[in-house]
């Protein structure tokens, strides 16, 4: 007796008669595979293998991007790399810089607490303030109300010298009338005393320029003129903002100022 011919689909022979061979992949992923109830070779028509219910395998994303974003453990990717501050500008206790904001940046010294007394080398002042280098920074402080903005061409980077110079230059500006009016009585008294101390260090002269006699921003800081470093503000909406920290100058610094 001749057995009837069955419609054998491609891949049936290579799959051992159990299920069709996987379809060739197309696109980024292969098509979802299914189980199909094909008859087993050699059985007569009246003895057919019972068909198993159709079971659909797990369906994956249709594109690589969807599959990548579907990973729940994958956190958001930061658009900007983590910025590291130059150790000289760090606000840690082991900071390397000893500098008074009343002095030129070229007078900055190594921290004597680290047994490395001496002027800060010029090559360090010319190094990038951050890694990777940035072309704009905004400096704010809890010790003075003024905002200092630094901007350089996009193909350059801000240096340690530029940060110290920006702080020094901003605090050397003449105090305006509206800024004076916003000071408390105690702050006005301290500013007046600081101006007198500053003028007393000048060589004697009959005519003193008006801009020297005028009260400057730095005079409002009184004795809180020691640079203690800068640190990130922590505001996600303003990643270029940094906080300038100041401390009280030591007695030795006061003698050196005189």
Over residues 48-88, the pLDDT tens digits come to 555 555 545 444 444 444 443 444 433 343 445 578 899 99
Over residues 189-206, the pLDDT tens digits come to 999 999 999 888 888 888
Please report the DSSP string for 54-116 in residue order. P-BPPPPPSSHHHHHHT-TTPPPPPSSPPPEE-GGG--STT--EE-BTTS-GGG-EE-GGGT-
Nearest to residue 101, comparing CAs of 200, 228, 234, 250? 228
Can you tell me the distance from the alpha carbon of 27 to that of 56, in angstroms, rounded to the nearest whole number? 20
Residue 34, pLDDT above cutoff 50? no
- Asked if omega into 132 is within 30° of 0 (cis), the reply is yes
Least confident range from 43-52, 124-133, 188-197: namely 43-52
Q: Higher-confidence residue: 251 or 173?
A: 173
Nearest to residue 214, comparing CAs of 175, 248, 246? 175
Query: Are 193 and 215 contacting, i.e. CB atoms less than 8 angstroms apart?
Result: no
Residue 114, pLDDT above cutoff 60? yes
Torsion sign across C-alpha atoms 122, 128, 130, 132: negative
């Amino acid at each position: 007796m001749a057995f009837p011919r069955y419609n054998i689909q491609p891949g049936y022979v290579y799959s051992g008669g159990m299920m069709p061979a996987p379809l060739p992949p197309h696109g980024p992923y292969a098509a979802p595979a299914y189980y199909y109830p094909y008859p087993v070779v050699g059985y007569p028509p009246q003895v057919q293998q019972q068909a198993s219910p159709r079971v659909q395998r797990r369906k994956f994303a249709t594109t690589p991007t969807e599959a990548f974003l579907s990973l729940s453990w994958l956190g958001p990717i930061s658009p900007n790399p983590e910025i590291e501050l130059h150790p000289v500008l760090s606000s840690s206790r082991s900071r390397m810089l000893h500098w008074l904001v009343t002095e030129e940046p070229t007078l900055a010294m190594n921290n004597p607490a680290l047994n490395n007394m001496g002027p800060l080398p010029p090559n360090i002042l010319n190094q990038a303030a951050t890694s990777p280098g940035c072309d704009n920074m905004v400096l704010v402080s809890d010790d003075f109300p003024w905002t200092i903005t630094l901007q350089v061409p996009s193909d350059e980077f801000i240096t340690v010298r530029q940060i110290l110079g920006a702080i020094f230059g901003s605090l050397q500006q003449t105090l305006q009338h509206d800024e004076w009016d916003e000071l408390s009585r105690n702050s006005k008294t301290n500013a007046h005393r600081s101006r007198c101390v500053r003028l007393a260090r000048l060589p004697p002269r009959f005519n003193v320029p008006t801009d020297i006699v005028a009260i400057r921003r730095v005079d409002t800081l009184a004795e809180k003129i020691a640079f203690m470093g800068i640190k990130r503000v922590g505001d996600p909406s303003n990643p270029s903002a940094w906080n300038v920290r100041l401390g009280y100058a030591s007695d030795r610094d006061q003698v050196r100022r005189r």
